[in-house]
Amino acid sequence: MIGAGSWGTAVASVLGGKGIATVLWARSPEVAEGISAESRNPRYLTDVTLPSQVSATTDLEEAVRGADVIVLATPSQAVRAAAESLRPFWDGEAPVVSLAKGLERGSLLRMTEVLAEVLGTHSRLAALSGPNHAEEVSRAIPTATVIAAYDEGVGVALRELFRTPAFRPYTNSDVVGVELAAASKNVIAVAAGMSDGLGFGDNTKASLMTRGLAEMSRLGRREGANPLTYMGLAGMGDLIATCTSRHSRNRALGECIARGGSVEQYETETHMVAEGAVSCLTVDELGARDGLEMPITHQVRVVVYEGAPAGDGVEALMGRESTDEFHGMDLADQ
């Protein structure tokens, strides 16, 4: 498990709870020592006791050599560096699973595309995504997720590896859709948080989520995704959780910004990375590259990076010309 943040710690807890020897690689010696000595992460999910099968190290070679499966639990913008560090120790056979939800800044590549560039293969790669807040997964609260792999056999094997009585994985062959949904839903969650910060109600949030899902699925379809993926766990499921939960980093970031805060303030106060802060840039750029209108995504970008008041974004969205609800979506082809 490369990355000992809250999500990496939670997934390590799932695997360790099955009796699977799981090694967490942590950048911080304090975190590695805390996990190894006290079975607790001293920085993230601090009240969760990890199974005895979970250990930690700051030595990447020690963590990776001989591993049957390698899981990357770093933020999306750190995936390339993590993969480059991993490459000398990877045997070319162990499946590599990405937990990150984002697109690489500059290249606009999905996470498995970044891994494929560095590792030289798609066949051993997979992405895990869904409505999976670490705080709940670590406490064995019933949760479903989806695993998207390029190779069906890899996907099925990983599905069985991660399955527990409280954590139920499904497989989906649509890697493009699962990864794009994961990146784009974070942006809509930032918008939902801004709605909360402005004091709006359920009508506003439901409207943002519904129109956001339409925006997400248009982009996915243009990139070759299966539209049904957006009705599943990686799409609608994760969107609901991320836009409504008290655990959601992206929703909290949006609320912070609407109340006059900033990305830097949020990250300093919480020690957390909200992926939507970068995804509002990358998803907006991908939509523009594809010639698509992404009005919610674009307004989030304008508020976060150009300093526009969140209220101006509301006016811009509500003032748009009215169209057919399914404008830009050829339902006959779906």
Asked if residue 139 is part of any domain, the answer here is yes
Examine the pLDDT at 127 and tell me if it is beyond 70: yes
What average pLDDT does the segment 240-260 reach? 94
Let me know whether 158 and 192 are in one domain.
Answer: no
Asked if residue 1 is part of any domain, the answer here is no
d(CA 123, CA 46): 36
Q: Name residue 97's beta-bridge partners.
A: 71, 126
Tell me the residue type at 21: A
Q: What is the separation, in whole angstroms, between the first and last Cα of the chain?
A: 38
How does pLDDT run across 39-74, given as a tens digit for each residue?
Answer: 999 999 999 999 999 999 999 999 998 999 999 999
CB 242 within 8 A of CB 216: no
CB 1 within 8 A of CB 22: yes
d(CA 258, CA 195): 8
Which tokens in the block code for residue 55?
């250990």
The residue from 173, 190, 223 where one domain ends is 173
d(CA 8, CA 10): 5
Average pLDDT, the chain: 94
Q: Quote the pLDDT of residue 271.
A: 79
How does pLDDT run across 283-293, given as a tens digit for each residue?
Answer: 999 999 999 99
The total of structural domains in the chain comes to 2
**Boundaries of domain holding 110:** 6-173
The residue from 173, 191, 220 where one domain ends is 173
- Residues 6 or more apart whose CB falls under 8 angstroms from that of 76 comprise 100, 101, 102, 103, 104, 111, 183, 275, 278, 279
From the list 18, 101, 185, 205, the catalytic residue is 185
How does pLDDT run across 295-328, given as a tens digit for each residue?
Answer: 999 999 999 999 999 999 999 999 998 888 887 6
Let me know whether 63 and 208 are in one domain.
Answer: no
Query: What CATH number has the domain bearing residue 161?
Result: 3.40.50.720
Let me know whether 115 and 191 are in one domain.
Answer: no
Let me know whether 20 and 82 are in one domain.
Answer: yes
The residue from 131, 150, 173 where one domain ends is 173
Query: What CATH number has the domain bearing residue 250?
Result: 1.10.1040.10
- Supply the DSSP symbol for 138: T
Reported as a pLDDT band with limits 50, 70 and 90, residue 334 is very low
Asked if residue 211 is part of any domain, the answer here is yes
Let me know whether 186 and 167 are in one domain.
Answer: no
Let me know whether 60 and 194 are in one domain.
Answer: no
Examine the pLDDT at 208 and tell me if it is beyond 70: yes
Assess whether 185 carries a catalytic annotation. yes
Let me know whether 185 and 151 are in one domain.
Answer: no
Provide the 3-class DSSP secondary structure of residue 31. helix
Q: Quote the pLDDT of residue 330.
A: 58
